[in-house]
A and B are shown apart, each in its own frame.
Chain A
Amino acid sequence: MKLHFMIVRRVPPVPSPVLVECYEILRGRGYTVTEDIAEEVIQRSDLAKIDADIYLLKSHTELSLALAGVLFTQGANMLNPYQSCSLIQSKIITSKLLRQAGVPAPDSWVTGDLSMAKSLLEKHPLIIKPHMGHRGAGVHLCKTPEDIDKIPPPETPMIIQEAIPGPGEDLKIYCVGDQVQGVRKQFSESSFSVAGRHGEITDEIRKISQRVGEVCGLGLYGLDIIESDRGPYVVDVNYFPGYKGVPNAAGMIADYIDDYARGKVTLTPPV
């Protein structure tokens, strides 16, 4: 059986140790494993055809998502499902899916005109970010109307969320099927590649994390959670994260892919 990983070019160009180990385990079990970086080749769309039994979408670039979309139209088997990945790229849709399913997520608004956000500051500080995007790019914490004025006029809709007061560190949750692992780390735009501390998580957080997987139709996914005085809040969801700082991540991922390939687990996209 052939597994094909759609990966992203890394800077510096060293392969992800988690993936390298995962490939080794899968090859040891008889799988053929290939990978490619969409950005490195010129593609002819009429030649795109399915030549792997399962595609694993690891890259989050626009080009990779479009290619995944092309493979989806051809009936490719994709882990995570293409529809799930495509929907959760929008933070607005993700927010709706989570709240609708009763998952604790911050109050969110969407607008193209940030002056409309100002009256919301009377109640609480705000996090303002583009509706698409990940890894903390373009995220603004606003406490005063002046903070909002400093944000350049947006070209795309912005999502505005209540800034949930937390303990000053993010809880990164990494999920493989129903297994939930937590890593605690400081939030910063520049330190997304820094590993955090693997730590204990509560049953409540475990249940919330598993629920997010069901709601979004994801098997390999990550969450950002803020542990506030009011309880945990899910502030971000992403597909196939890096699993940095998770002990034996490669082994768990390989086992999950193996189970998926054998039809022991299935994933249902949201809508």
Chain B
Amino acid sequence: MSYFEDASLVYIPSAVKNAKTYSIKPTDGSGDLTFSRASNATRVNSSGLVEKVRTNEFIYSEDYSTTHGWFPSTIGGSTVDFTSNYGIAPNGTTTADRIELHINGQAYADYVRPTASFVVGVEYTYSIYLKSLSGTPTFEFFNDGAIGVNKTITTDWARYSYTFTATSNTAYPRFLVLASTSPDVDVLAWGGQIERGVMTDYIATTSAAVSVGPVSGLPRLDYSGGATCPSLKLEPQRSNLVTFSESFDNAAWSKNGISITANNAVSPDGYTNADLITADGTITEHYILQGQSASVKTISVFAKMGSQRYLQILTGGSAAALANYDLQTGAVGGLGAATTASMVDYGNGWWRLILTSTDALTNNIYFCFASSLSAGRFEAFSSTGTLWLWGAMAENGASYATSYIPTLSSAVTRVADAASKSGIASLIGQSEGTLYWEGYRVNSANFGTALVIDDTTTTNRIYILTTIDGFRIDVTSGGTSSAFYTAIFSEGTHKIAVAYNSSAVDIYIDGVSVYNDTSVTIPACSRLVLGNWSGNTQESRTSQAILFKTRLSNADLATLTTL
């Protein structure tokens, strides 16, 4: 038999668009899932990189005309000439604008567009492609509100950038030439970008800022763990309470016995924005810390070994929340009484260090150098060691770490994901059928949803839920459960099939028959739900979901679910 041909609905994460993730069968769209998540998020992309939402806040990035807020600011007889779409831009289109500044014996000539959207204390990068049409002039190409930044422009296209920490909410992309620094200026300009953090790939804009990546409403096809095929990542609502999660040089982080070199190495997101942490060589505790609330339960940070091998995560006021991490081998040790700890390999020497504690964590969280895997709290020792950090996170009320949530000057909340398809009674076996789910189960303190069919209420349903330590499967019709199975299964990938008809329900997990019940009432169902059913929102990663309108044979169930 062909499972694909026999199936009524086959969902394999492969293509998405805003608010939708496509099923590969049926092909008429009637089985495509409706998706929702009312916030940005991150994912691990097919290159194994942590993909964040990136935003170009520079509107009309390829048009510097006065129509869009640019204006000449001249003095006396100095002049500015502007020609739209004068030259060939770096992308091969004739969209580069020509800007000419003529001093004419005066002090300066200026072409400027003030921008007021900067958050004080936050790191930004302004960038623009420039090419001189005459000589190699030096002019001010940006003013961060306090400091004017000069660049010398060559006769070849190049992308010029300036990274700064905002000291006011106003800054000025500009072309300002002073009589004292340069002769007249004649340049082509194209592709302006203002973004938070370091410079990333160019994003074109028109009348509004443009964001790319896992933006609000876009399903996440996730490749965590080096997967070659993606899974649909569905997570609960979580908040990252750490501020400046990638900027350990910021004053939001207190330091002791260490120094910070910002943006020193390529981080797990593929850009040069990881901070180098260097111990100062004295005999002391070497750490950074940030104050947090007592409700924080899971702490995580990405770390990479330089010459410092061991890092400790701990909290203030409690000996129970403590773990040491070996950045060379991926081992954890020295765990506190109420702590679980793990390390996840993100490649290129990067690990995500995770600490979860059932203790009532208090106040500060610390990332502290340690001399061994068994080091105690706040070890004082001499070190000149180095390591890199990126992407710190503190999640409140959380029994496991979820996908990274970047923050700047405030805490940020990612909203829960949900995917479902209503009105598909014709694709669901009403008197007999088979449900198949393949995905990754995460240990958590609450229930999560792997796959559910229902009638949009909880009265009629067949569900496959993830529990604190395994799976729970239930068949309920008219509010009365007629088949119920629950058992412990490890965190990891599993395959589950639930086959039903009027005479029996059979459940197979990972190739093994685990349940048979010959007294069952089949509910009438019309909706398929993956993740976030009836408040059961813990993480699920679905790599396949298949519905059959026939009850597959036990042999087929075994074959289908064998790992």
A and B from one complex = no
Seen from chain B, the residues whose Cβ lies within 8 Å of a Cβ on chain A are none
Binding site for B on A (CB under 8 A): none
